[in-house]
Chains A and B, each alone.
Chain A
């Protein structure tokens, strides 16, 4: 994808790469990346301890206009839940699954300033 000049997309994709490495280091196996359903796009789908984990990655370059956590609203969570169900149905998956969020703040040089992993945001 041509992302030249599209800063928002660039930031997002940079964040997804960081999150992927971060989760792999934590022992997660990445199953799927940018999986699209009719409800939304799943940034990452991972697996650990026989639990399927759908991960929403939120990346921001600064916190001047709110934290990445604040951008995950009720509507987004609802869409994530439906996407997860759609994914499970499509793949005939009947095991446990949960939805996580990884929030990232980037430094100006695109290195991560803070990575926070929230488990089970629908709790």
Chain B
């Protein structure tokens, strides 16, 4: 007897439908075979399915069972085929017809219960696109799938429950989406704790408001890392659309906890400088998202920028421009979005005390040259804001402490950032982008009309700093963000002047 059960296969963020064909033959010795390019995890599902059915007190047919995962030429990965295979075997044996237009998805435990399986959100999205009315997923993954409206998501606890549902004895109630409490990002530092550094704080605010990349250069102990760690506290919350994008990546890589819901907090990724190129950009024979994709719509913080291997840093160039990355392997091509704010920090020289007001730098010219060459020109050209973080005077620091001079808190800055983002959202409603940093040249021409004197200033500055064409446009974008923060619809001289000041390429 032949039974067909529908399921899906996730490759990157792409989902394709898989038909699980189960044939229980009346001839031959009892056996269970899986064909259709199963990976190790899929081939092993044989044992899980068999044991789960027997442990559920159900009858496992002593027949020759052939399972075909169609289309046969697509490699199948993951443990999500356990449930469709089990349902195919059971429905051919006992009186229970499977519901029409339904998808089955989930990993079985040996006791017959279902375990949290990655990719439930992608399954639900696929179901909606392809007119599947019902999806049956493990209970722990149901909330994640229920994000998608218009599809009945059935939370399944164990095989027995599902069999009873299919034969109409008891029915499973479709899951309702509920927001699970997410701990507000554990923000290590409040901006108010960073004393002084007003210029750097302002630059970070611009970065957060417009989604611009920045590089901080300064001596050790000046507060670069502290500033970057305080950045999550001033980032605006994810919009509905952004939230779904981030959740998709998290779902595909299995980062959503059981019972998890939409990701509401902007990701903040801080990989160590020993990260491999594949770890940063994503890769592997079964392509997995890297740090840049996990930082999508959030911040990628690279501390000690100069210490990263050149091959790793240069891999950032293309995704920084495109906002996505295609991982091409001989077997498959996978695209991951990667629109992030690059936050980088570096020392000016190997000893770190170049340009220090008091201490002497012991580096030779050649050493400094070698050090600065570790980061290439094209990469620096893609960074919008170059910030110098000066040394904090100890006397000043001591003065600050007892006085408790009021510093602007993260919340205040965050409110300003949110306002600036709202202006941008209104502007880019029909463009499909979210921030000023994402503007293409066509959009710049449309939304950033420069008056004559402002243009003159930009040209003048560009000449002086030898700006490239890319930097020229980047300056316009930064000026646009500063104008938005100022609630000005036009970019005036002051906005442009401030933008240009972040371009003073710091000799590092």
- Residues of A in contact with B (beta carbons under 8 Å apart): 69, 72, 101, 116, 118-123
Contacts and interface: CB of A to CB of B under 8 A. Distances in A.
Given A118-B30, A119-B27, A121-B28, 5 more contacts: A69-B29, A69-B62, A116-B62, A118-B27, A121-B29
A42 B28 CA distance: 18
B25 interface: yes
Contacts of B62: 69, 116
B64 interface: yes
Contacts of A116: 62
Contacts of B26: 119
Contacts of B25: 123
A79 to B, nearest CB: 15
A1 to B, nearest CB: 29
A72 B31 CA distance: 12
A98 B62 CA distance: 20
A77 to B, nearest CB: 8
A67 B26 CA distance: 19
Contacts of A72: 29
A119 B63 CA distance: 11
B89 to A, nearest CB: 17
- Nearest 6 A-B pairs (CB), nearest first? A123-B28, A120-B27, A121-B29, A123-B27, A119-B27, A118-B29
Interface residues on B, range: under 10
A101 B29 contact: yes
A123 B30 contact: no
Nearest to B63: A118
A119 B62 CA distance: 13
Nearest to B64: A123
B27 A69 contact: no
Interface string B47-62: 0000000000000001
Interface in B352-381: none
22 contacts: A69-B29, A69-B30, A69-B62, A72-B29, A101-B29, A116-B62, A118-B27, A118-B28, A118-B29, A118-B30, A119-B26, A119-B27, A119-B28, A120-B27, A120-B28, A121-B28, A121-B29, A122-B28, A123-B25, A123-B27, A123-B28, A123-B64
Contacts of A121: 28-29
Q: Which of A72, A116, A121 gathers the greatest number of chain B CB atoms within 10 Å? A: A121
Nearest to A98: B27
Interface in B1-41: 25-30
Nearest to B28: A123
A120 B25 CA distance: 11
A116 to B, nearest CB: 8
Nearest to B31: A69
A120 B26 CA distance: 10
A52 to B, nearest CB: 16
Nearest to A123: B28
Q: Which of B26, B27, B64 gathers the greatest number of chain A CB atoms within 10 Å? A: B27
A43 B28 CA distance: 18
